[in-house]
Amino acid sequence: MSSSFKAGLLLLLLMVLFALLSPLVWADPAAQDLSRFLAGPSWQEPLGQDQMGRSLMARLASATRLSLTLGLLCVLTAALLGCLLGWLSAWRGGWLDGLLRSLADGVLALPSLLLVLLFSAMAQGGFAILYFGLAMAQWVEYYRVVRARSRTLLVSPQVEASRLLGFGNGYVIRRHLWPELAPQLLTMMAFGLAGAILTLSTLGFVGVGIQPPTPELGLMMTEALPHYQEAPRLLLAPIAVMGLMLLALVLLTQGAKRQESEPSPLGSMQPVNAGVQS
């Protein structure tokens, strides 16, 4: 693994541990104590309290957990839907391919943020419709990549040889399509997760995403703006957390691209007929 990939993976693991283990240490993120209005950092509360007397550390951990969970669900849904439709379009062709391409072009014609804003306006702070909107804004990218690459692979000599030997569609996907598509798809998923986190924070910042009192990074920034002069840590803390998450994902994608571009030392030793071996 490259140094960029290791650094990104380590940073992402630290963010996940922070999100999962912080509730065992700090109080309920919704617990209020107005007597602790904008209280400064202490040993019990390293980041102090916010304008409602709530634990800033607990709210940051809860917002990080929300962003990672919702972003990962959206990316997995979009990747699964896009890959299935892309494989189906490349495999069947004909009118089905034309229908799916027209649907993808129609979705692609709308700006992704506008599409998510339409769904979030209907959601009114609900998780389900917001999750659906984020997933629907990303599936087209996976569909177009998988369809274009699969159309080339399905007519390759390796796939034709596998079919002549009697192997089914499941074997062709597992042995030929997935190994070729996996590196690019995983890179796209990392970028998609970063985009979902950023979009979710943007929606919260403009007030059309997750609604209070649920902690969310963009919403926390909006709530902290009136108190920036008194307690700048309220605004800087969620910005730093979101920046670290995005940095971790960027480092992961850079490391993955570097590994993909480097030739394998055993590449020249692969047999020519490896594609037809069971």
Among candidates 54, 67, 48, which has minimal Cα distance to 237? 48
Residue 224 lies in a domain: yes
Which residues lie across from 55 on neighbouring strands? 49
Residue 271 lies in a domain: no
Domain count, the chain: 1
Residue written as token pair 């994608």: 253
Model pLDDT for residues 136-189, shown as the tens digit of each residue: 888 999 999 999 888 888 888 888 888 888 877 778 888 888 888 888 888 889
Model pLDDT for residues 33-54, shown as the tens digit of each residue: 888 888 888 888 888 888 888 8
**Any residues with CB less than 8 A from the CB of 182 and at least 6 apart, and which?**
none
Residue 96 lies in a domain: yes
Residue 141 is part of which domain span?
3-16+56-258
Residue 227 lies in a domain: yes
Residue 44 lies in a domain: no
CATH number of the domain bearing residue 165: 1.10.3720.10
Which residues lie across from 49 on neighbouring strands? 55
**Share of the chain residues as helix, strand and coil, in percent rounded to the nearest 5:** 75, 0, 25
Residues in the chain: 278
Maximum C-alpha span of the chain:
77
Residue 263 lies in a domain: no
Residue 39 lies in a domain: no
271: preceding bond cis by omega (within 30 degrees):
no
Residue 42 lies in a domain: no
